[in-house]
């Protein structure tokens, strides 16, 4: 076990993947608590597909992928948030439509120019080699911002997540927080996507919050548990992926699924003990 | 007695459609005002307007300085997302103190005590660490009232508060609101469908059907044409 870890840390690209990935997972899970509880989980999924479309076009045109996709995905985040907030159009259907369209645009743009190269495949399903030193730097900055937000505005985030209307009536700038969370989610997704894959990245947002909600009864507990769980699951997933030569993104998702089932079992067990004691 | 909120000839509405037209009314300290009306008569729009979530399209809406500073204690209709929200009773109640915070990040001792005091007053102090989603409907309402009182003790706005409660909890709820109104002098503004029991409680009635159908004391309402029609045979 120890040998495996030492062996992994001897490859610089793996160290970068571990560090960058863990930070991105952490950000995704914290933002995910708010998104999942507000029933905005679909936004994460929609953004990852838009991000894929933007990346493919950037690649086809030979532009820098990050510089194109970050602004595009942030714009998409604004747009998806508006659709969901208005609630007039069937928002879940609208997001699904946008996801599929963005994916289609990406695939078409690619096949017209370079063809389905390994790059595209790694964007779809993730590649452990994707984290450049520059990406890791960006992940550290992002993590700083998300941490600062949760530390300084924790109570406001709670109020906005629990009850938007009440928060608004007591003078909290609700739309500002919604936009901020959506923008941070957009950056998180773009950063994590190339490692986790466009198809899998939204699981980083959704799984930790859902898993924690099985067992923890307080908002504070759910936030802490999600953060810790996401990093632990990511590291276990990376080690397993290295040991068994499986794709990194898929392995991390499977570890998250295992954690979810474990927590669900714990919850059921707790309920059983509780009812027996009565 | 000073007015907390004064509306004179106010219109509220969305882009090209006014849902409330030419409303003139005021809410004074210690009032117990009920807003009644059919679905789509502009009740919810009016509440949004009073909370400042919607700007008046015409007329003047004036709020006392105290209310403007602390915000309004508001009890919204429950949303589906809240029913399985992981939060303790304490976390929900203390979030009412947010308007006192400004931009300082953490709650002070004083605010923590305020939250505890209100939980004791509403008889939910022993539920402090319990999860909000595991409570009964009546208990959840008490939690939300405690939160609203943390924001301000001057005015509570309740939006269809008894929807989904069982009859026993409804009676309990009305007793509680009445007590807050009588003993603590909290002004109450309630939107409700439960007209029959509310006329026993409220001191003033506002009957809305886009325009004001009736605005005055409960006694006059029972005698008025609009009141008799709306209350049906129940008051004779």
Between CA A192 and CA A130 the distance in angstroms is 9
pLDDT at B218 over 70: yes
Instruction: Retrieve residue B80's tokens.
Output: 């589906």
Confidence of residue B1 (pLDDT cuts 50, 70, 90): low
pLDDT(B144) > 70: yes
Q: Which two tokens stand for residue B174?
A: 């009305």
pLDDT of residue B235: 45
Q: Kindly state whether A37 is in contact with chain B, defined as any CB-CB distance less than 8 angstroms.
A: yes
Q: What pairs with residue B18 in β-bridges?
A: B13
Question: What whole-number distance in Å separates Cα of residue B118 and Cα of residue A43?
Answer: 38
Residue A129, classed as helix, strand or coil, is: coil
Helix (H) or strand (E) holding B229: helix B225-231
Question: CB-hemisphere CA count at 13 Å for A31?
Answer: 32
Please report how the helices A154-162 and A12-37 are oriented relative to each other, as an axis angle in degrees rounded to 10.
Answer: 50
According to the model, what pLDDT value does residue A146 have? 94
Residue B113, pLDDT score: 87
**Buried b vs exposed e over A12-26: b needs ≥16 C-beta within 10 Å?**
eebebbbebbbbbbb
Q: Which residue of A has its CA nearest to B129?
A: A218
The H-assigned helical ranges of chain A are 2-9, 12-37, 41-61, 65-86, 91-113, 118-125, 133-152, 154-162, 164-169, 174-196, 202-215, 219-244, 248-277
Are A221 and B86 in contact (CB < 8 Å)?
yes
What is the gyration radius of the CA atoms in chain A, in angstroms? Answer: 19
CB B20 within 8 A of CB B46: yes
Higher pLDDT, B103 or A69: A69
Residues of chain A neighbouring B92 (CB-CB closer than 8 A): 162
Say what the pLDDT of residue A212 is: 94
Instruction: Work out the average pLDDT over B9-29.
Output: 80
A165 chain-B contacts, CB cut-off 8 A: 51, 53, 74, 76
User: Model confidence over A182-229: pLDDT tens digits?
Assistant: 899 999 998 888 888 888 888 999 999 999 998 998 999 999 999 999
Do the Cβ atoms of B86 and A216 come within 8 Å? yes
Helix (H) or strand (E) holding B188: strand B187-191
Closest approach of B175 to chain A, Cα-based (Å): 24
With 90 as the cut, is the pLDDT of residue B129 above it? no
CA distance B18 to A73: 37
pLDDT band at B236 (very low <50, low <70, confident <90, very high): very low
Is 90 exceeded by the pLDDT of residue B201? no
Q: Which of A18-27, A87-96, A166-175, B227-236 has the lowest mean pLDDT?
A: B227-236
Q: Inter-chain contact B151–A170, Cβ cutoff 8 Å?
A: yes
CA atoms within 13 A on the CB side of A274: 6
Residue pair B52/B7 in contact (Cβ under 8 Å)? The answer is no
Nearest CA distance, B236 vs chain A (angstrom): 39
Residue A254 reports pLDDT greater than 90: yes
Task: With a cut of 70, say whether residue B77 has pLDDT above it.
Answer: yes
Per-chain mean pLDDT for chain A: 87
Of B81, B107, B131, the CB nearest to A38: B81
**The most confident of A110-124, A145-159, B201-215, by mean pLDDT:** A145-159
Token pair belonging to B159:
């939006």
Query: Per-residue pLDDT for B131 more than 60?
Result: yes
CA B92 to chain CA centroid, nearest Å: 17
Residue B59 CB neighbours (<10 A): 16
How far is C-alpha A82 from the chain's CA centre?
Answer: 20
Judge whether B87 and A219 are in contact, CB under 8 Å. yes
Q: Which residues of B touch A169 (CB under 8 A)?
A: 51-53, 71-72, 74
Query: To 10 degrees, the CA torsion angle through B171, B174, B176, B178?
Result: -140
Q: How far is B170 from chain A (nearest CA, A)?
A: 22
- Name the minimum distance, in Å, from the CA of B15 to any CA of chain A: 14
Mutate to test the interface with B, among A38, A42, A162 (most CBs of B within 10 A): A162
What beta strand segments (E) does B15-65 contain? 17-28, 32-36, 58-63
User: Tens digits of per-residue pLDDT, A216-243?
Assistant: 989 999 999 999 999 999 999 999 998 8
Judged against a pLDDT cut of 80, whether residue B188 lies above it is answered with yes
Q: Which residue in this structure is represented by tokens 């502009």?
A: B42
pTM over 0.90: no
- The answer to whether the CB atoms of B74 and A170 lie below 8 A apart is yes
What's the farthest any 2 CA atoms get from each other in chain B?
56
What residue has token string 């560090």? A19
What is the Cα–Cα distance from B76 to B53, expressed in whole angstroms?
A: 13
Report CB contact under 8 Å: B95, A153.
no
A1, A61, B118, B123, B232 from A218: Cα distances, Å: 35, 48, 20, 20, 46
pLDDT tens digits, A7-35: 888 888 888 989 999 999 999 999 999 99
pLDDT at B156: 86
């Amino acid at each position: 076990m120890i040998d495996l870890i030492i062996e992994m840390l001897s490859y610089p690209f793996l160290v970068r993947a571990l560090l960058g990935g863990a930070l991105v997972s952490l950000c995704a899970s914290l933002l995910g608590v708010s998104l999942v509880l507000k029933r905005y989980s679909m936004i994460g999924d929609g953004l990852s597909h838009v991000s894929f479309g933007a990346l493919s076009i950037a690649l086809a045109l030979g532009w820098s992928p990050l510089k194109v996709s970050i602004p595009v995905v942030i714009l998409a985040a604004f747009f998806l948030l508006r659709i969901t907030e208005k609630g007039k159009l069937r928002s879940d259907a609208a997001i699904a439509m946008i996801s599929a369209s963005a994916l289609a645009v990406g695939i078409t743009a690619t096949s017209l120019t370079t063809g389905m190269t390994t790059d595209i495949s790694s964007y779809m399903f993730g590649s452990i080699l994707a984290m450049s030193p520059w990406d890791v730097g960006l992940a550290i900055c992002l993590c700083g911002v998300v941490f600062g937000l949760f530390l300084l505005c924790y109570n406001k985030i709670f109020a906005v997540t629990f009850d938007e209307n009440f928060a608004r009536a007591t003078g909290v700038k609700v739309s500002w927080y919604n936009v901020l969370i959506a923008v941070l989610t957009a950056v998180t997704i773009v950063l994590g996507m190339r490692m986790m894959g466009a198809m899998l990245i939204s699981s980083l947002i959704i799984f930790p919050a859902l898993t924690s909600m099985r067992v923890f009864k307080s908002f504070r507990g759910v936030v802490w548990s999600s953060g810790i769980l996401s990093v632990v699951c990511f590291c276990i997933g990376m080690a397993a992926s290295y040991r068994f030569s499986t794709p990194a993104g898929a392995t991390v998702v499977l570890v998250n699924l295992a954690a979810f089932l474990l927590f669900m079992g714990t919850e059921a067990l707790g309920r059983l003990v509780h009812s027996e004691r009565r | 007695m000073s007015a907390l909120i004064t509306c004179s000839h106010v219109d509220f509405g969305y882009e090209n459609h006014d849902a409330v037209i030419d409303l003139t009314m005021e809410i004074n300290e210690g009032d117990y005002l009920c807003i009644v009306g059919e679905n789509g008569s502009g009740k919810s729009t009016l509440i949004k307007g009073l909370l400042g979530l919607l700007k008046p399209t015409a007329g003047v809406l004036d709020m006392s300085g105290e209310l403007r500073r602390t915000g309004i204690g508001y009890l919204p209709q429950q949303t589906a997302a809240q029913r399985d929200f992981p939060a303790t009773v304490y976390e929900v109640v203390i979030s009412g103190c947010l308007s006192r915070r400004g931009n300082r990040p953490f709650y002070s001792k004083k605010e923590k005590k305020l939250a505890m005091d209100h939980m004791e007053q509403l008889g939910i102090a022993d539920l402090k660490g319990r999860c909000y989603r595991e409570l009964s409907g009546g208990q959840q309402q008490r939690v939300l009232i405690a939160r609203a009182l943390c924001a301000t003790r001057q005015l509570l706005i309740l939006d269809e508060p008894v929807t989904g409660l069982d009859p026993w909890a409804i009676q309990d709820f009305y007793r509680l609101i009445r007590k807050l109104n009588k003993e603590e002098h909290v002004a109450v503004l309630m939107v409700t469908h439960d007209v029959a029991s509310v006329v026993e409680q409220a001191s003033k009635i506002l009957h809305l059907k886009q325009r004001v159908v009736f605005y005055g004391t409960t006694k006059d309402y029972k005698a008025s044409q609009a009141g008799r029609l709306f209350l049906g045979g129940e008051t004779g």
